[in-house]
Every structure is written in structure tokens, then in C-alpha cells.
Structure 1
Amino acid sequence: MSQSNAPAPVGIIGGTGLTTLSGIEITGQREVSTPWGEPSAALVEGRLGNQPVIFLSRHGNPHRIPPHQVNYRANLWALHQAGVRTVVGVNAVGGIHEAMGPAHIVIPDQIIDYTWGRGSTFFEGDLEEVTHIDFTYPYAEEARSVMIDAANSLGLPFSDFGVYGATQGPRLETAAEIVRLERDGCDLVGMTGMPEAALAAELKMNYVCLGLVVNWAAGKSDHIITMDEIEAAIAQGMSGVKRILEESMDGLGALSPPPV
């Protein structure tokens, strides 16, 4: 049987504020199961421009699965089995760096993992050999470059760097914890960046994070964090996130998988 020349779909994992993706031309929806259990939601198949995409709502639709209970392994496995080789993880984050306030868009370049107790690897159980992946650079640089070029071409304000501190949740952090994260070098804080990035690396998929700052991190403003503040930042910044996604799709779809 001849192989199709159709481009591989780009995977988009949407978080808080991106339960659904407007602008996508939906062509189908699939309920799937994996050896690691059920993913968070059905895979929504469609197109953004000329590029086929598969959208997955990280917290379910409706938004109901807390960060520490997301089945990250099932989500990444389902996307990989559907032919995805490049994944964009859209993340709502808190801003620590002084330039990264509410509604600011960030394409981070590093991550520090503070999570615990999550299913964080495919390499466990009855293995033939122990496997260690290189995770020096957790985000695929070619994919980052595509998204950075897209943001620049649109004239959107954004940051092309940032260390993402991934915390356990579901509670927000204390002011002292944010002081610690800042001392560690973190520019952003969120709850879903890991183990998602590492699992994508284990499956040899390009993975890039597109972060939207939805609040100042604890102690970085003169008031406590409220859902009204978060929702306002999402309303203000999500249109830019969607424009970057649309602008970068063709370039992301043309990327080759990372070398084995």
C-alpha cells in the first residue's frame, strides 16, 4: 500500500483558557484509549489553515481535571499514536520575572521540575534495559524558532526566553515558595509543564511551550491572586496565543522528528 504524502498533524494541548480552539476547522473527533489509561478528553481533529492539527484539552472539556491528576502519559501516548510528531503545550502561568506580567506571552527555553508523585515516565515496569533520555534542552529549539518567528511577524509583545518552574498544585504557591523559585532562576510558575515535556521527549516528539501569564506569582503584587484577575488576563492575552498558533502551524508541521 502506498504511503500518504499528507503532512503529519501538529498536536496542540490546551490548558486553562484554551479548552476549545476557535478558528480550527473540525474534521472529526475520536475517543481513544491507551495502555496508560484514558486521555483527558477526545482527540479533536481538524485544520488550522493548511495544516492538520489534533487538539486535546489537558484538563478535560469541561475543565474538571486538576493539574496533579492529569493523565499526562495517556495524553502524550494518544497524540503520538495519532501520528503527531510536534506538540505545542499551551500553559497558563504566573509571572515571576519583572517583564512577565499578566497577559504577557512567553516561549520559555528551560524548565525546573518541582512536581512529585505523577506518572512521569514510560520507562518503568518490566523493562529490557534502563533508559535515560537527554533532557538538557527540554523544548525543541527548531519548534521554538518557528513560534518566535511567528510572534515577531505578528508584532506581538512576548518573551523568547524563560525558565518555567513546574509546581505540584492544585493550590497556588506561597510568597516564600516564589522567593525560592526566583532564587533557583525561575521566571514563570505553572502546574502542568511537567511531566508533559519529558514524556514528549521520551516519545521522540518535538515539544514547545506557549505560555500565557495570567497573574503575578504570589508576593509579586500588592494583593492576593483572584480568579477575576486570572480570567481578565486570559481574555486579554488568549487572542495573541491563538494568532501565534495559527501563524506557526505550517512551519511546525514541516519539522522532522528529533533524531533517535
Structure 2
Amino acid sequence: MTEGAEAGDSRGWDERLGWAFGLTSEDPAVRDAALARLVAARRHVAEALCRVNEMWWLTRPLGAEEQYRETAFAEARRRHRRAQSASLPEALWDCPPGGDLAAWPGLPYALLFLEWEARYPAEWTRCAKAWGTKQGLVRDLARADHDESVRAKLVDLVEIVVLRPYRCKDREYVRVARAVDGAGLRGRLARAADADSPWARCQAGYVLWLLDRPDLPNTPRVWRAWVAGGSATLG
């Protein structure tokens, strides 16, 4: 592994995880190859964690302070961190505190992880299901100061999500819609609100309605009232 791969810069991320962009490929063969890499990477993480647990048990008699200085235990923990940095979703757990993602080298992979879940939900669920990671990333990405390329990707994600049947934590995308609100997003939502799919009509209509009411919270009560046709009573 090169110095760049060990580092937290974009080159290091690409060397460790560049193959993961195949997870969203339209070519099934490319996607299958990326899925195989991911399965192997996650197996490596599990094996490394087993080694950490084994060494923790063996060094426990040393006491907490000496245990964490013990060479074999320290090396097991380093190997586990390296394995995590080359796998999804584990690599994304090193997100900057406070959700400041704009300059984070892992940002393209956070977007990739969400795009994969949006476009190929069955494969995502089978190979890397992590609802908490999805929720955290969507919340952290719901900010208005992204550059145009990131904003465009977030608009794409909002559209994909409203067009499909609801999945766990999809409601969090209302935050993103509010953060990247604009004519482009509203045009896509308006088209989705006229789609044949009842899911798309309901969800797109709900998001558009909330965009016009920025002070109204996106709560389960508000959603249920919208679905029940009680939006007029909510303002």
C-alpha cells in the first residue's frame, strides 16, 4: 500500500475504494465484480475484528493502561482500522465530527453509498445494509453550501427517492430537498407528482408542499396528515 493509500487524502481513498464506483454501474458484470470486491472487503473487516477481540481477551490481565500499549493488541487494532478504510460502509464511519463534509476526501464515497442504495436497493440491503449510516450521511449532506456538482448529485438522489416506494430513512431526504431547493429540483418534483406511480405522486407532492412551508417540521404526524388528505389543517 502506498503512502497515499495510507493517508486520508483523496488519492488514498481512491486507491482503497476506487473499485466501489462499479456498485452503481448500469453494466451487471461491472456491478457483480464490485459486489464481489465488497464482500471480500467486509469479510476482511470481520476477520480483523475477530483478531482484535481475541487479543483484547488475551491481554486483559495486563490491565487497561498496559493492555492498550501491548504490541500485538495495538497491531490488531491498526489492521482492523485499515480493513475498515477499504470497505463500505465502514470507511464512512470516519466522517468529520459535526458533519463538515465539504472538504472531506470521503465525500464522493458518501454520495456513492447513497446513490447505490437509491438505484440498487436490493443489492445494498443484501451486501451493506446500514440504516444508521444512511441517515447520518443524508443529514450531514443537507446543507446549502455545496458546489454545483454535489448539489446536482443531491437533486438526482431526491428525485430517485421520491419516485420509488418508501424505504427506511427516506423521509430524511426532505432535509436535502430544502437545502438544495431551486427551480431544477422543483421541476423534477412537479413531473414526479404527475407520474403514474401513486408512490411518486404522494411523495413528490409532499416534498413540494413542505418546500413552500420551510417552518413546518417534517414529522411523522405531518406526513400522516398529508397522506390522509389533511394538509389543509396544517397550514
Structure with a larger share of its residues in helix: 2
> Same fold judged by TM-score > 0.5?
no
Q: Pick the TM interval, shorter chain.
A: under 0.3
Could you say which structure has the greater relative contact order, defined with CA pairs below 8 angstroms and 6 or more residues apart? 1
Structure with the higher fraction of residues in strand conformation: 1
Using the size of structure 2 for normalisation, the TM-score is 0.27
